[in-house]
């Protein structure tokens, strides 16, 4: 996940210029505090389980509870194509925003790989630690090497691992270049990869550039619904990391472009 500022504002953001401004403000406020409350509840539950020595399957339950409830509270509607594998796998997804993390509530326990900066964030970092997130400092070759080792260990523990190999968020619908490290590890270890493509109806859901968290969250939660298409691809293997990376990137790029075209067509039809 990309590094962004969580600075607080001295005044509310201004995304409410069209009709129903008060309604949008109330909706955003309600959803924002629901987001904070649910995040805290899930984090406390996971930390308590971790302190009691729970295995990963039990640590994972607060996350699935959180996914279900944040979808309801924030008006998130997900259209899913394909199915996740029912076995341990490396899940590789494009990255648009912080909401991406609740779009893959895999029934098979999983572990996230996230940027080391996120570990210092309030609530998000605490929650990540509680579910054994693997933190990577992409500027450090030693950290990247250690991360590959941790991912290998999780796969051998029969846990799925989800990775956003762009390394940061991107508005799309195109993709940034995928980082090579995980693909080399998967090729060397013959690990299965499940590609995932995600595309939101509203492009402003993407958290990019220098957007501060609170004004962006208020803007996103102001939408009546947060609609997203999620497509799961077939499990892939390969012993050539360069070819494997390109194959996964091409599939994801094509899927995102198709889903963006579908969203745009629906918008044109609604405005006609």
At 176-206, the pLDDT tens digits run 999 998 899 899 989 999 999 999 999 999 9
Asked if the model's pLDDT at residue 248 lies above 70, the reply is yes
Omega into 173 within 30° of 0, i.e. cis?
yes
pLDDT of 11 higher than 80: no
d(CA 195, CA 192): 10
The candidate with the shortest Cα–Cα distance to 178, out of 241, 81, 246, 112, is 246
252 neighbors 197 (Cβ within 8 angstroms): yes
pLDDT digits (tens, 9 = 90+) for 208-217: 877 888 999 9
Burial class (CB in 10 A: 0-12, 13-18, 19+), 90: buried
Is the model's pLDDT at 35 over the cut of 80?
Answer: yes
- State phi, psi for 7 to the nearest 5 degrees: -60, 145
Q: How confident is the model at residue 12 (pLDDT cuts 50, 70, 90)?
A: very low
């Amino acid at each position: 996940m990309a590094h962004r500022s969580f600075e607080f504002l001295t005044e509310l953001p201004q995304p409410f210029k069209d009709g129903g401004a008060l309604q949008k403000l109330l909706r955003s406020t309600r959803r924002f505090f629901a987001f904070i409350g649910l995040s805290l509840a899930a984090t406390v539950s996971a930390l308590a389980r971790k302190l009691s020595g729970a295995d990963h399957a039990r640590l994972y339950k607060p996350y699935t509870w959180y996914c279900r409830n944040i979808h309801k509270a924030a008006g998130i509607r997900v259209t899913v194509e394909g199915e996740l594998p029912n076995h341990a796998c490396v899940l590789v997804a494009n990255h648009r925003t912080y909401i991406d993390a609740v779009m893959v509530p895999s029934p098979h326990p999983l572990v996230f790989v996230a940027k080391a900066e996120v570990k210092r964030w309030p609530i998000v970092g605490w929650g990540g630690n509680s579910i054994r997130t693997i933190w990577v400092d992409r500027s450090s070759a030693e950290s990247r090497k250690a991360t590959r080792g941790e991912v290998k260990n999780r796969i051998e523990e029969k846990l799925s691992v989800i990775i956003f190999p762009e390394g940061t968020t991107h508005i799309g619908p195109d993709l940034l270049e995928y980082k090579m490290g995980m693909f080399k590890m998967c090729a060397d270890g013959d690990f299965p990869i499940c590609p995932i493509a995600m595309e939101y109806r509203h492009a402003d859901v993407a958290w990019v550039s220098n957007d501060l968290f609170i004004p962006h969250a208020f803007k996103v939660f102001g939408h009546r619904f947060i609609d997203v298409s999620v497509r799961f691809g077939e499990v892939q293997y390969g012993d050539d990391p360069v070819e494997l990376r390109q194959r996964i990137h091409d599939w994801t790029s094509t899927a995102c472009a198709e889903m963006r075209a579908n969203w745009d067509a629906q918008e044109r039809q609604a405005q006609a």
